Amino acid sequence: MQIRKIAFIGTGIMGANIAGHIMDAGYDLTVHNRTKDKAAALLARGAHWAASPAEAAADADVVFTMVGYPSDVEDVYLATDGLIRTAKKGAWLIDLTTSSPQLARDIHDAAEVEDKHAFDCPVTGGEQGAIDGTLTLIAGISQQAAAPVLPVLESFSSKIFYFDQPGGGQTAKLCNQVSLASCMVGYADALALAEQSGIDAEKVLEVMASGTGGSGASKTLAPKSLAGDYKPGFLAEHLRKDIGLALQRSEDLEITLPGAETAFTLFDMLCQIGGSRMGTQALTLLYQEEATCAVAGLDWSLLDQGDEDEHECHCGHDHGDGHECCGGHGHDHGDGHECHCHDHEH
């Protein structure tokens, strides 16, 4: 099949940039996003608008999704008017969202039955990688099977890892995220120690960069933390979601991930006190005086307020029990839906 028409669903921080590269490569692009404004720049450049995922996919050879949570992925693919039913036969359905490995397998299997090709393809490289078109892709498919869509994937990436099986991309991405989360806690600890000791924290970052204590996170994010720049590149609530998915997987495997446990506690705290929509680098605010946090927009009095009903899941899916869940798969709320976030006390 010659690929000409592409649909892109989810034009947020990452999606809008990725879709721009797909347009640059000459494909005919149709976009849909929950909030239309966020597609404005693409529409101004000549992308077509669709009022729903179904409308976007109707005529598309390839449909990309880059939404927020597993619950969003589930809605877009598996709802009655979702992509599995509404995309055309033979279409490729590629999910770039960081989501649940089990959901990726479910979508792959459902698509196969309908004569469509679906695979998980989460990304790493951050907002800058999306802007530059140099993302690393982590694909849950073999290199050979993905060959027909390779030119499109290459339009916004510089490296592709193939994990050969449905859900394999998501699992590998979650491995990356638990490492990232611990690296972030590591640099936040280091900066707190430096600042409280009265030594130059910026110089400490230089030391870390020239030795083995540094990381990608300390290189790119710690300077923003030090400068008080908490604007999102990568939303704190999305990293909490990712660690929650990894911890759920670790429970399934009956292993413990102590670094991820610690990071989850800290990012959950940050989200509870008003930092959900800040960049992950706002983690260092947790180490600061309350007054400094207040200036940045955090409110410590909000901590644990959501726990009064003993429900502790924070991931964005309303179950009608006054409780929001991650929208992943694995934890039954008694409403036929399984939630995958780690942080449950039902």
Q: Of 129 and 186, which CB lies nearer to ligand NAP in the complex structure? A: 129
Integer Cα distance of 151 and 147 in angstroms: 8
Q: Of 36 and 203, which CB lies nearer to ligand NAP in the complex structure? A: 36
Minimum distance between the CB of residue 131 and ligand NAP, rounded to whole angstroms? 10
Residues that bind ligand NAP (CB under 6 A): 9-15, 32-35, 38, 66-68, 72, 75-76, 97-98, 123-124, 126-127, 233-235, 238
Residue nearest ligand NAP (C-beta atom): 12
Query: Which stretches within 228-332 are classed as H helix?
Result: 236-253, 258-270, 290-296
Q: What are phi and psi of 93, to 5 degrees?
A: -120, 110
- 108 exposed, middle or buried (CB, 10 Å; 0-12, 13-18, 19+)? buried
Q: Of 55 and 127, which CB lies nearer to ligand NAP in the complex structure? A: 127
Q: Which of 116, 173, 203, 231 is catalytic?
A: 173
Minimum distance between the CB of residue 71 and ligand NAP, rounded to whole angstroms? 8
CA-angle at 246, arms to 240 and 250, nearest 5° = 140
Q: Is 173 a catalytic residue?
A: yes
Cα–Cα separations (whole angstroms), residue 22 to 86, 141, 145, 249: 22, 21, 21, 33
Q: Of 53 and 330, which CB lies nearer to ligand NAP in the complex structure? A: 53
Written as one letter, the residue type at 33 is: N
Q: Is the dihedral of CA 15, 343, 253, 243 positive or negative?
A: positive
The answer to whether residues 300 and 273 touch, using CB atoms and an 8 Å cutoff, is yes
Minimum distance between the CB of residue 276 and ligand NAP, rounded to whole angstroms? 11
Integer Cα distance of 95 and 102 in angstroms: 13
Q: Of 82 and 166, which CB lies nearer to ligand NAP in the complex structure? A: 82
Minimum distance between the CB of residue 206 and ligand NAP, rounded to whole angstroms? 25
Integer Cα distance of 191 and 213 in angstroms: 12
- The token pair at 3 is 């690929």
Integer Cα distance of 166 and 58 in angstroms: 24
The answer to whether residues 260 and 247 touch, using CB atoms and an 8 Å cutoff, is yes
R_g over Cα of the chain: 20
* Angle separating helix axes 101-113 and 168-197, nearest 10 degrees: 160
Q: Of 185 and 194, which CB lies nearer to ligand NAP in the complex structure? A: 185
Minimum distance between the CB of residue 244 and ligand NAP, rounded to whole angstroms? 11
Minimum distance between the CB of residue 325 and ligand NAP, rounded to whole angstroms? 15
Q: Catalytic residues, which ones?
A: 173
